[in-house]
Amino acid sequence: MKAYENPSLESEKISGGQAVYIDQQSPFYPEDNSADIGESDTILDKILLLVRQNKLAVFSALVILIIILLAVFAPVVAPYDPAAQSLRDRLAAPSAEHWFGTDKLGRDIFSRTLYGARVSLAIGLLPTLISMVIGTVLGLFAGYYGGKTDFVIMRLADIMLAFPSLLLAMVVMYTLGGGIVNIFIALSLVNWASTARVVRAQTLSLKEAEYVEAARSMGVKKTTIIFRHILPNCLPSLIVLFTLNIPSAILSESSLSFLGVGAQPPSSSWGLAVTEGRRYLFSEPWVPLVPSAAIMILVMAFNFLGDGLRDVLDPYLKEQ
Amino acid sequence: MLKKILKRVLISIPVLIGVVLLIFIMLRIVPGNPVVTLLGEHVNQQTIDKLSAEMGLDQPIVVQFFKYIWNALHGDFGTSYRMNRSVTQMIMDAFPYTVKLSLLAALISWTIGVVAGVIAAIRQNKLLDRLFMGTALLGVSMPIFMAALLLQYVFAYKLELFPISGYEGFAALILPAIALGWNSAGSIARMTRSNLVEVMQDDFIRTARAKGRTESGVIIFHGLKNALLPVVTMMAIQLSSMLSGAVLTESVFGIPGIGRLAVNAIEDRDMPLLQGTVLFTTVLIIIGNLVADILYSVLDPRIREVK
């Protein structure tokens, strides 16, 4: 059944973050009986296991940490003001003075890349968090209440997932107009459905668990059961999903900005920097390629980390 | 079986209606009168009213919606604001380019993906496996426009093997196809590898070996035959997403396909064109998923017989 498992890496990255899915409502979709969530290890134990076993994931976490630190301390680290133009030095090759060269306005690419990391990280973290909160709440309610609630929420999710995510984001950007804030809104609204599906499936199996039944028979309120007893058990999967959704969001932002419908000048988004530098690909290739490489490194680090986390945390993991 | 297929087709219909409704609403809550955007600010009210009536924008939104559905069912997606051409005609002009590009991309990426995945599975945890899987992860992580720019720089500019951009002739499509298939090859390779590794531990593989089949025979006829089932489904989905998702590739290489049309529509604030392209591609995806789902059940007897 691998076609259905772990949609994150296997399928979501096709064609630059296009979400691809198989309808789980399908009569062909196999019955889910793989939820065996009875392990006693805490999340912390499992993360320690990851640290011992998966050097690549640890290295990726380190890379992410460094990028976060560089972004936070960009004003201290950056050798130049990212907006400072110096037409005398325009399109300079990488040198000791300008590590990654300069762009068409003589702005230091290294400094701009550091500041651009702020945009990419913010885009990766915040809309992903918002969309996952929406998806989690909807998934919990759909799974626990079932019936009409479930039907309405899941049909809505079906509709959202039917769109190629890049196209849907493009439509939202058409409605809202360009700009970084609007990308935040677009990505928050577009990506909740896959989370809702995963959480719903887990809730369905968790609500049959004995401890939930015990809570129910003691007369615990429904919302309390959902948020105190079911949600915590979805957390491992949510952590994995979160880590793997971040690179999708980063790729979406850079794709939108690359197409000219995302961030607008003079912001220093990486995707925007690529599209602005495209004209110089053949004469000064570092201008578009440095920000491209920055996107790739950040996305790859999150993918490796997410893969590693999935191996230790995800209870749906196939035994090998 | 037939009943199941029918049921699966029926499930798609509400999704389809929802998709049309969502796009229709989203494109109509855009602030500002589209006619004013189209004509500019300095036009008198009379002209605006006249054009609004001509475009049917003066009617209630519900009437507009059902009219749109009715026309769409008859293959009419309206008229482009900017080009003053039939949107259906524009899509049909652009579609062949996207189809050619996607088919070539599929051919290249699936061949590479399956071969690399099989080799990696046979040499599990050896150097070649690590190398291929590393490359595959690179494929999944690299933004598609970066792959496109790199290919353009190395093979079209430095080595002068292919034209830099354009769409005339087969050679011009090779680089865009590789760029578009790059991600797919990565995920196909990863999937083929992990499936094959798992299948090769099954009992029937041991039986086949015990019967004295050569190792390559066991891998191809017993292992691969089973390992590729989910991969085939994945391929059907990938093809439909390639058909619709070639936006970035087409943009880099200047191919006048569907993706290019959608980007132009946003730049020109051409609502009917955007609406048409998005609906067309989304319907393609829905059909692709449908086919993938049915294909999977036809190919895999274990699912076919589940009640």
pLDDT per position as a tens digit, A219-231: 889 889 999 989 9
Residue B122 lies in a domain: yes
- Cα A199 from Cα B39, distance rounded (Å): 48
- A317's CB contacts (< 8 A; 6+ apart) are A310, A311
- Regarding whether B215 and B113 lie in a shared domain, the answer is yes
CA B57 to chain CA mean position, Å:
32
- Regarding whether B47 and B111 lie in a shared domain, the answer is no
- Regarding whether B195 and B59 lie in a shared domain, the answer is no
CATH of the domain at B95: 1.10.3720.10
pLDDT per position as a tens digit, A42-62: 777 777 777 777 888 889 999
Q: CB atoms < 10 A from the CB of B35, how many?
A: 20
The interface residues of chain B toward chain A in range 242-281, judged by CB-CB distance below 8 A, are: 242, 244-248, 251-252, 262-263, 265-267, 269, 274, 278, 281
The interface residues of chain B toward chain A in range 138-177, judged by CB-CB distance below 8 A, are: 138, 140-146, 149-150, 152-153, 157
Q: Quick one: what percent of chain A has pLDDT higher than 90?
A: 25
- Cα B5 from Cα B294, distance rounded (Å): 7
Shortest distance between the Cα of B171 and any Cα of chain A, in A, equals: 20
For A259, A264, B137, B252, the CA distances from B145, given in Å and listed in that order, are 10, 18, 16, 7
- B245's CB contacts (< 8 A; 6+ apart) are A14, A15, A16, A18, A164, A166, A167, B259
pLDDT per position as a tens digit, A256-282: 999 888 888 877 789 899 988 888 888
- Regarding whether B101 and B60 lie in a shared domain, the answer is no
Q: Which of A156, A285, A296 sits opposite B143 (nearest CB)?
A: A296
Shortest distance between the Cα of B45 and any Cα of chain A, in A, equals: 24
| Domain that includes residue B104, residue range | 88-305
User: Which residue of B10, B162, B285 to mutate against A (max A Cβ within 10 Å)?
Assistant: B285
Per-residue pLDDT, A129: 95
Note whether A174 contacts B149, CB cutoff 8 Å. no
Q: Tokens for A286?
A: 């570092």
User: Which residue of B141, B281, B290 to mutate against A (max A Cβ within 10 Å)?
Assistant: B141
Per-residue pLDDT, A277: 87
Burial (CB count <10 Å: 0-12, 13-18, 19+), residue A38: exposed
- Regarding whether B199 and B69 lie in a shared domain, the answer is no
- Regarding whether B151 and B286 lie in a shared domain, the answer is yes
Q: Tokens for A203?
A: 């809730």
CB B104 within 8 A of CB B110: no
pLDDT per position as a tens digit, A198-216: 899 889 988 888 888 898 8
State residue B79 phi and psi, 5-degree precision.
-115, 135
Note whether A23 contacts B141, CB cutoff 8 Å. no
Q: Quick one: what percent of chain A has pLDDT higher than 70?
A: 85
- Regarding whether B245 and B137 lie in a shared domain, the answer is yes
Give the residue from B32, B94, B26, B50 showing the smallest Cα distance to B264.
Answer: B94
ipTM: 0.83
Q: Answer yes or no: is pLDDT of A236 > 60.
A: yes
Residue B175 lies in a domain: yes
The interface residues of chain B toward chain A in range 11-50, judged by CB-CB distance below 8 A, are: 11-12, 14-16, 18-19, 22-23, 26-27, 29-30
The chain-wide mean pLDDT, for chain A, equals: 81
Residue B28 lies in a domain: no
Residue B29 lies in a domain: no
Q: Is B99 on the interface with A (CB under 8 A)?
A: no
Note whether A278 contacts B149, CB cutoff 8 Å. yes
CB contacts of A10 in chain B (<8 Å) are 187, 190-191, 234
Give the residue from A5, A6, A3 showing the smallest Cα distance to A306.
Answer: A6
Shortest distance between the Cα of A127 and any Cα of chain B, in A, equals: 19
CB B200 within 8 A of CB B223: yes
State residue B246 phi and psi, 5-degree precision.
-80, 15
- Regarding whether B145 and B103 lie in a shared domain, the answer is yes
Q: Which of A2, A158, A258 sits opposite B230 (nearest CB)?
A: A2
- Regarding whether B117 and B64 lie in a shared domain, the answer is no
Shortest distance between the Cα of B181 and any Cα of chain A, in A, equals: 8
CB contacts of B237 in chain A (<8 Å) are 11, 14, 20-22
The interface residues of chain B toward chain A in range 201-230, judged by CB-CB distance below 8 A, are: 230
Residue B13 lies in a domain: no
- Which residue of chain B has the CA closest to A56? B134
Per-residue pLDDT, A242: 92
Residue B109 lies in a domain: yes
Q: CB atoms < 10 A from the CB of A181, how many?
A: 11
Q: Which of A26, A254, A292 sits opposite B293 (nearest CB)?
A: A26
Q: Which of A163, A166, A303 sits opposite B141 (nearest CB)?
A: A303
CB A158 within 8 A of CB B15: yes
- Regarding whether B121 and B48 lie in a shared domain, the answer is no
pLDDT per position as a tens digit, A291-306: 999 999 999 999 889 8
Per-residue pLDDT, B202: 85
Positions of chain B with pLDDT lower than 50, given as ranges:
307
Residue B24 lies in a domain: no
Q: Which domains does chain A have, with CATH numbers?
A: 1-30 (no CATH), 40-319 (1.10.3720.10)
- Which residue of chain A has the CA closest to B28? A175
- Cα A236 from Cα B160, distance rounded (Å): 50
Preceding omega of A266 cis (within 30 degrees of 0): yes
How many structural domains compose chain B?
A: 2
- Cα B256 from Cα B166, distance rounded (Å): 9
- Regarding whether B208 and B65 lie in a shared domain, the answer is no
Q: How far apart are the first and last CA of chain A?
A: 14
**Coil, helix or strand at residue B79:** strand
Residue B282 lies in a domain: yes
- Regarding whether B159 and B118 lie in a shared domain, the answer is yes
Final residue belonging to a domain, choices B76, B107, B127? B76
pLDDT per position as a tens digit, A148-203: 999 999 989 988 888 888 888 888 888 888 888 889 988 988 889 989 998 998 89
